[in-house]
Amino acid sequence: MEKHTEQELIRLFETWSGENVESTQLLPPSGSYREYLRIKGSRCSAIGAYNPDKKENRAFIEFTKHFRTLNLNIPELYSENTDENIYLIEDLGDITLFSFINQHRDGKNYTNRIVDAYKAVIEQLPKFQIKAGKNLDYSVCYPRSKFDKQSMMWDLNYFKYYFLKLARIPFDEQALEEDFQTFTDYLLQTETDYFLYRDFQSRNVMLKDGAPYFIDYQGGRRGALHYDLASLLYDAKADMPDSVRKMLLGYYIVTVSKYTRIEPEKFKQYFYGYVLIRIMQAMGSYGFRGFYEKKEHFLQSIPYALNNLSSILSRVQFPIKIPALLDALENVIQSRRLKSISADLKPLTVTINSFSYKRGIPIDVSGHGGGFVFDCRSIHNPGRYEKYANLTGKDTEVIKFLDAETDIKLYLKNVFNLVDQSVDKYLKRKFSNLMVSFGCTGGHHRSVYCAEALAKHLKSKFDIKIVLRHLELEMKQ
- Do 97-344 and 3-90 fall under one CATH topology? no
User: Cis link prior to 143 (omega < 30° from 0)?
Assistant: yes
Which of these ranges, 273-277, 368-372, 451-455, has the smallest mean pLDDT?
Answer: 368-372
pLDDT tens-digit series, residues 156-204: 999 999 999 999 999 999 999 999 999 999 999 999 999 999 999 999 9
User: Which among 347, 317, 110, 121 has a CA at the least distance from the CA of 213?
Assistant: 121
Distance of alpha carbon 144 from alpha carbon 196, whole angstroms? 12
Q: pLDDT class for 264, splitting at 50, 70, 90? A: very high
pTM of the model: 0.77
Distance of alpha carbon 389 from alpha carbon 444, whole angstroms? 9
Q: Does domain 3-90 have CATH number 3.65.10.10?
A: no
Q: pLDDT class for 1, splitting at 50, 70, 90? A: confident
Calculate ∠ Cα 53-58-59, nearest 5°. 100
Distance of alpha carbon 312 from alpha carbon 249, whole angstroms? 14
pLDDT tens-digit series, residues 219-237: 999 999 999 999 999 999 8
Residue 445: is it exposed, middle or buried by C-beta count within 10 angstroms (0-12/13-18/19+)? buried
Q: Which class is domain 97-344?
A: alpha beta
Quote the pLDDT of residue 286. Answer: 93
Q: pLDDT class for 430, splitting at 50, 70, 90? A: confident
For the chain, what are the domain ranges?
3-90, 97-344, 349-475
Q: pLDDT class for 433, splitting at 50, 70, 90? A: confident
Quote the pLDDT of residue 203. Answer: 92
Q: pLDDT class for 3, splitting at 50, 70, 90? A: confident
CB atoms within 10 A of CB 387: 10
How confident is the prediction for the chain on average, in pLDDT?
92
Q: pLDDT class for 50, splitting at 50, 70, 90? A: very high
Q: Is 467 helix (H, G, I), strand (E, B) or coil?
A: strand
Q: Does residue 31 have a pLDDT over 70? A: no
